[in-house]
Amino acid sequence: MRERVRESVAAMGENGTGGPGMEGWPRRRALAAGLAGLSAFPARGQEAWPSGPIRIVVPFAPGGSTDAVARLAAPGLQQGLGVPVVVENRSGAAGSLGADAVAKARPDGQTWLLTFDSHAVLPALLPRLPFDLRRDLLPVTLIGGAPYVVACKPDKPYRGIADVVSAAKARPGGVSFASTGNGTIGHLAMVQLGERVGVRLQHLPYRGGGLAVNDAVAGHVEMMIGSAALLAPQVAGGALRPLLQLGPERLPALAEVPTAEESGFPGLRAEAWWAVFAPAGTSAPVVARFHEALSAALREERAARQMTDAQQARLVLAGPDELARFLDREIETWGKVVRENGVQAD
């Protein structure tokens, strides 16, 4: 084990970044993780990991897609790791309250963060964030993603996004849309759409996907934007009519719904994503084992079918390096939208 740690440290190279997958993630963290990893191979008489119930913190209210992904994975994780797995919802401040709780948790492998795309927007949205996104949380698994979809109740007078734009021009500020929270990728995508056509859409942020869906189905808002995973049951059941999808191509389940690019918005793409992070200092072998157990849980036939068919999500199940690279790109892309449009936290 100590030989593997020495090899890992040597592989980081002279730039101290840990290779191409660790840009922006300090060398000292990689070194600390490697050395701390020795503790995951206990001496005789020491307790091995996991030593008790595992807590997965979801920083959003129950009923949303992030909560659904966590609860879908929990049974397989419990079986694979041999300990109880508890999903804990700690919503608020665009997901930062739950993330902060995990960032400050003991790095013993018993607490994990399963979060949503708004995680990458936090540094721009909350300049006084009580934790550092890169320093205090370790990337573990990029679970996957799903395109955002704009939808409305079927009795609304919209058949496509062109109808929404026309109504917004006729009633400036009078067309509302709900999102799963202020500063989420869905919210920012709608800001970009409004800019492209010169209209202002009234944003109604919710503290979770379930609450937003309920009001959209009830007709309390003109429309909502949410991930295909979140809206799939309501769209399939006819409770919501999809108007636009923001992925690179049409989903098979939404074959009649145009993408934003097909609708005259080149380059406008937005995909929701889910990922897992651990408190900084969590040992590398523990992170690796959790990643393997989570991946196995979501590759299981029933879980995979639920993700890809029922929730229209694309499974990625990439490890720490790829998640680190992905997060850096998301922080840059959507942070720019926040800053240029003066988007603020609730």
pLDDT tens, position by position, 143-183: 999 999 999 999 999 999 999 999 999 998 899 999 988 88
Q: Does 2-37+51-145+272-341 match 147-254 in CATH topology?
A: yes
Burial of 266 (0-12, 13-18, 19+ CB in 10 A): exposed
Is a pLDDT exceeding 60 seen at residue 332?
yes
The per-residue pLDDT for range 281-301, each reduced to its tens digit, is 999 999 999 999 999 999 999
Domain residue spans of the chain: 2-37+51-145+272-341, 147-254
- What's residue 207's pLDDT? 78
Per residue in 28-46, pLDDT tens? 344 344 434 444 444 443 4
Which segments within the chain are labelled E, that is strand?
Answer: 54-58, 85-89, 111-116, 137-152, 176-179, 202-205, 223-227, 241-245, 271-279, 314-318
Give yes or no for a cis peptide into 252 (omega within 30° of 0). no
Tens digit of each residue's pLDDT (9 = 90 or more) over 232-286: 899 999 999 999 999 999 998 899 999 999 999 999 999 999 999 999 999 999 9
| Two tokens, residue 264 | 């005259």
Pairing of strands 54-58, 111-116: parallel
Inform me whether the pLDDT recorded for 205 exceeds 50. yes
Question: Could you tell me the sign of the dihedral formed by the alpha carbons of 214, 85, 89, 36, in that order?
Answer: negative
pLDDT at 32: 41
Q: Average pLDDT of 36-63?
A: 71
Pick the CATH number of 2-37+51-145+272-341 from 3.30.1490.20, 3.40.190.150, 3.20.10.10, 3.40.718.10: 3.40.190.150
- How many angstroms from the chain centroid is the CA of residue 281? 22
For position 47, what pLDDT does the model report? 57
Which residue in this structure is represented by tokens 């996907």?
209
Would you state the pLDDT for residue 29? Answer: 43
Give the span between the Cα atoms of 260 and 248, in whole angstroms: 9
Query: What is the CATH architecture of 147-254?
Result: 3-Layer(aba) Sandwich (3.40)
Q: Are 247 and 1 in contact (CB under 8 A)?
A: no
pLDDT of residue 283: 97
DSSP 140-207: EEEEEEEEEEEEE-TTSS-SSHHHHHHHHHHSTT--EEEESSTTSHHHHHHHHHHHHHT--PEEEE-S
Q: Tally Cβ neighbours within 10 Å of residue 220.
A: 13
**Residue 263 Cα to chain centre, angstroms:** 26
- Which residues, in sequence order, are bridge partners of residue 114? 276
Q: 3-class DSSP state for residue 44?
A: coil
- pLDDT score of 229: 86
